[in-house]
Amino acid sequence: MTKKEKHKIIAVVGPTASGKSRLAVELAKKHNGEIISADSRQIYKEFDIATAKPSEDEKAGIVHHLIDIIEPTQEFTVADFTDRAQQLIEDIVSRNKLPIIAGGTGLYLRTLLQDFDIPRVEPNKELRKELETIAESEGVEAVYDMLVELDPVLAQKIHKNNLVKIVRAIEVSKTLNMPMSQAQGRKEPMYDVEWIGLNAENREYLYNRINLRVDEMIEKGLEQEAKNLFEKYGELTLLLSTIGYQEFHEYFKGLISKEEVIEQIKQNTRHYAKRQLTWFRQNKDIKWMEIEG
RNA sequence: GCCUCGUUAGCUCAGUUGGUAGAGCAAGGGAUUGAAAAUCCCUGUGUCCUUGGUUCGAUUCCGAGACGAGGCA
């Protein structure tokens, strides 16, 4: 019985502004590698300044995949990411190069490289809208009660206030005609991954880097970028759920000042970095590198 | 100089008819299975400005002082 050998790959992870792009490029140069970005926002075209996409200079001739490939109006989810990344890994390995995954987005990384085995059920816009309407008129509990009927096991694990997760669980359970808790599972990791994590032991230091980077984004014209996107696409959910754009939305409506926008972007980015770290800390295979000093 | 109001958690402020106090934000921790830069959960001891007095007991009442804001001269 011969077991197929798993592909070796490197994963460089860390919170926003930790410098993982640079490290990934260094490693790619050293090991003849190509980079696959695991970032739910850099995937989009035109989302440049806000997502701190690497410039051509910063890419330093290294091939970067899954950056700048989706239109802002297109949907892109974990499943799309996983499928594309898996293909890319096969392709890169077949050319005798080393795949290096660099990111950011905890759910993407865990699904591609760790143990999440996601149910294959596409989003159902109408159902979501319907359930959200019920939540608005009758309260979230009404929707939660529906989930308790469909999948009491999962309902126990999802907090009754977490509408997004409740809705998805109902969506999956209804589509498959079986409880989502039975459709989802854990799997063996598909690859032989060397995990490298970037972090600052001193949280203040990380937060300072974030604050500085936001100031740089403003200097580079983040306001104009946000303006263009809102004018071109309107109030897309995607824009309203992306740090760096969502805050400008209120500013363009005259609700808050420029100073407040900048402060909010910094604040939201700090919160985001903290949430990212919660994802990564759960992964005991990560070898951590200190970024300060 | 006089009058009024204020001084409580890192910040903004509630509150205690006298029995040592609580919200929002911040901060920290966690969850996370096709929206994930999304969504959600948990965590609040702080000379209640200082100092005298009244009281069994004062952050709460009274006096004095300090600081801040406004008003009158």
pLDDT for A1 equals 47
| Ranges in chain A, pLDDT < 50 | 1-2
Q: A163: which residues sit within 8 A by CB, 6+ positions away?
A: A132, A135, A140, A143
* Whole-prediction pTM: 0.93
pLDDT for A3 equals 59
pLDDT for A121 equals 96
User: CA(A107)–C1'(B11) in Å?
Assistant: 34
In the complex, which nucleotide's C1' lies nearest to the CA atom of residue A280? Answer: B32
C-alpha A161/C-alpha A144 separation (Å) is 8
**A79-119 pLDDT, tens digit each:** 999 999 999 999 999 999 999 999 989 999 999 999 999 99
Strand A8-13 to A33-38 pairing: unpaired
pLDDT for A77 equals 97
Does the predicted interface ipTM exceed a cut of 0.90?
yes
User: CA(A212)–C1'(B69) in Å?
Assistant: 35
Q: Facing residues of A102 across strands?
A: A12, A37
Protein footprint on strand B: which nucleotides are under 7 Å from a CB? 26-41
pLDDT for A255 equals 87
Strand A116-117 to A185-186 pairing: antiparallel
User: CA(A265)–C1'(B70) in Å?
Assistant: 36
